[in-house]
Amino acid sequence: MKFITVETYDELSRKAADLIASQIIMKPRCVLGLATGSSPVGTYKKLIEKCGEGDLDFSTVTSVNLDEYVGLDGTCDQSYRYFMNDNLFNHVNIDKDKTFVPGGCAEDLDAEGEAYDKLIEDLGGIDLQLLGIGLDGHIGFNEPDEVFVKGTHVVDLHESTIKANARFFANEDEVPKKAITMGMGAIMNAKKVLLVANGEAKWDILQKSFYGPITPEVPASILQLHPDVTVIYSKK
Ligand code: GLP
C-alpha cells in the first residue's frame, strides 16, 4: 500500500487525476470504478481539464459506479447518477451508454444487484477503482457490519452516514435510508484501488482502516488485503 500525504486538496486532486489519466492512456478500453461524495470532485475537475486540453480521451472508457440511493432516479439532483453526469460525464467525451450506476429504482433490487455483478464480471472486472471513505470507514455504501458482503446489495444507511450526507439534501429527513452498493467482491477484484480523503476529520478512520485490525466493523480495513492500493490524503 502506498500512503501519500500532500498539503492541499488541489495537490491531492492533481495526483489522483494523473493516476486515472495514466490508466486511461495505458489501457484506453479500461473499466473505471467511480465514486461520489465530495472527496473526488476535485479529481473529476482535473480530468475534465485534461480532456478539454486534448490530453485525455474517454471515448473508449467504460465506468461502473459504486452505489446509488434507493428510490432516487437519475433525474433527481441528489441521485448519484445525476452527480456523475453533473461532475464528470457531461463534460468529457465518454459514451454515456457505457457509464453504469446501480439502479436505485429497480423493482427487484436483489435482481438488480445480481445483474450489476454480472455486468462487472462480463466487462472483465474493474481496472482502477476510485474510492472515498466515510467517517465510519464505509467504502461505497458498505457500512460497518458483522461481515464483509461480497456482492452488490441493499444496505440500511447508518445514522452517522445519513447525518453526514444530509448536507446534500434540504434536511436530514429527506436523505434516503437505504442504498444499493457494490460489495467488497468487485472492489477487491479491481486491479488497482485509489482512495482519496481530505480533511483532518478523516485522519483517524484512515489510521484505523490501514493500520488497525482487519474487521467488517471498519469496512475499508479489507483494503489492507488488496495488492495494489494507493491512498492520497490531504489535511485541508
Ligand atoms: C458517501 C458515498 C461514499 C463516499 C462517502 C464519503 O456515503 N457513498 O462512496 O466515499 O460518501 O463522502 P465525502 O467524500 O463527501 O466525505
Averaged over 58-78, what is the pLDDT? 97
- Report the separation in Å between the CA atom of 93 and the middle of ligand 1, taken as the mean of its atom positions: 25
CA dist., res. 185 & res. 152, Å (int)? 8
The answer to whether 125 touches 25, Cβ cutoff 8 Å, is: no
Q: What local confidence, expressed as pLDDT, does residue 35 receive? A: 98
* DSSP secondary structure letter of residue 158: P
CA dist., res. 110 & res. 87, Å (int)? 28
pLDDT interval class at 33 (50, 70, 90): very high
Beta-sheet strands, E only, within the chain = 2-6, 31-34, 62-65, 67-69, 99-100, 128-131, 153-156, 178-181, 192-198, 229-234
Q: What local confidence, expressed as pLDDT, does residue 202 receive? A: 97
- Report the separation in Å between the CA atom of 219 and the middle of ligand 1, taken as the mean of its atom positions: 13
The total domain count for the chain is: 1
Question: Which atom of ligand 1 has the smallest separation from the CA of 141?
Answer: 8
- Report the separation in Å between the CA atom of 140 and the middle of ligand 1, taken as the mean of its atom positions: 7
Question: Which atom of ligand 1 has the smallest separation from the CA of 157?
Answer: 7
Averaged over 186-206, what is the pLDDT? 98
Residue among 134, 139, 141, 129 at smallest CA distance from 194: 129
Domain range enclosing 134: 2-234
Residues with CB under 6 A from ligand 1: 35-39, 66-67, 132-134, 140-141, 161, 165
The answer to whether 16 touches 43, Cβ cutoff 8 Å, is: yes
Please name the residue whose Cα sits nearest to atom 5 of ligand 1. 134
- Supply the mean pLDDT for the chain: 97
Q: What local confidence, expressed as pLDDT, does residue 27 receive? A: 98
Q: What local confidence, expressed as pLDDT, does residue 103 receive? A: 98
Neighbouring CB atoms inside 10 A of 166's CB total 14
Q: What local confidence, expressed as pLDDT, does residue 46 receive? A: 98
Averaged over 106-122, what is the pLDDT? 98
Say which CATH number the domain at 73 has: 3.40.50.1360
Is 127 marked active-site?
no
- Report the separation in Å between the CA atom of 87 and the middle of ligand 1, taken as the mean of its atom positions: 14
CA dist., res. 9 & res. 11, Å (int)? 5
Q: What local confidence, expressed as pLDDT, does residue 122 receive? A: 98
pTM: 0.97
Determine what percent of the chain is predicted with pLDDT higher than 90. 100
Q: Buried b vs exposed e over 11-46: b needs ≥16 C-beta within 10 Å?
A: bbbbbbbebbbebbeeeeebbbbbbbbebbbbbbbb
Helix, strand, coil proportions of the chain in percent (round to 5)? 40, 20, 40
Averaged over 171-178, what is the pLDDT? 96
Please name the residue whose Cα sits nearest to atom 1 of ligand 1. 37
Dihedral sign (CA 32, 2, 133, 111): positive
Selecting among 10, 11, 18, 136, the annotated active-site residue is 136
